Amino acid sequence: MATFDVEYDLVSIGGGGSGKMAAYIAAKEGGLKTALLEKCPETGGSSVFAEGQAAFESSEQKARKVPPTPGMHYPTRAEGYKRYIDYSHKRANPEVARMQAYETAETIDIMKSLGIVYTDVTIYAYEQPTELNSFHRPDGLGAHMQEVLLQATVDAGVDIFTSTAAKELIVEDGKVVGVVAEDADGNTIRIGAKAVVLAGGGFGGNLDMVKENSRFAKNAEHLIYMGPEGNTGDTIQMALAIGADTWEMLPLMIIPVAKGKTLVAHINGGGSQPVLWVNKTGQRYYDEHVALSFADAGNVIASQPDGRSYSIIDQDTVQHLIDDGSDIGLGDFIPYHGKLTGLQTELDEAIAEGEMTWKSDSVADLAKQIGLDPEVFQATVDQYNEFAAKGDDPLFFKDAKYLRPVKTAPFYAIEMRAAILVSTGALHVNGSMQVISVDGQPIAGLYAAGMDAGGLFGDTYNLDVPGSANGFAHASGRVAARHAIKAIKG
Task: Kindly state whether residues 468 and 398 are assigned to the same domain.
Answer: no
Q: What is the pLDDT of residues 80-102, one digit of tens each?
A: 999 999 999 999 999 999 999 99
Domain assignment present for residue 381? The answer is: yes
pTM, to two decimals:
0.95
Average pLDDT for 41-49: 93
Of 81, 436, 20, 406, whose CA–CA distance to 245 is shortest? 436
Range of the domain at 46: 6-250+426-489
Distance separating the N- and C-terminal Cα atoms of the chain: 22
pLDDT in tens, 158-187: 999 999 999 999 999 999 999 999 999 999
Give the DSSP H or E segment for 260: none
List pLDDT tens digits, range 122-143.
988 777 778 999 999 999 999 9
Contact 196, 445 (CB under 8 A): yes
Contact 58, 105 (CB under 8 A): yes
Asked if residue 217 belongs to a domain, the reply is: yes
Residues, the chain: 490
Quick one: 110 and 202 in the same domain?
yes
SS3 percent helix, strand, coil of the chain, rounded to 5, is: 35, 20, 40
Quick one: which of 465, 475, 274 has its CA closest to 384?
Answer: 274
**Based on the domain organization, do 39 and 149 belong to the same domain?**
yes
Closest by CA to 309, choosing from 298, 324, 296, 320, is 298
Mean pLDDT on 28-34:
98
Asked if residue 256 and residue 246 are part of one domain, the reply reads no
- Residue 94 has a CB neighbour count (10 Å cut-off) of 13
Q: Tell me, what CATH number does 308's domain have?
A: 3.90.700.10
Q: Total structural domains in the chain?
A: 2
pLDDT above 90: residue 334: no
Alpha helices in 51-206 (DSSP H): 59-64, 77-87, 94-113, 141-155
Q: Which pLDDT does position 392 carry in this prediction?
A: 98
pLDDT tens digits along 396-411: 999 999 999 999 999 9
Among 372, 388, 420, the domain boundary falls at: 420
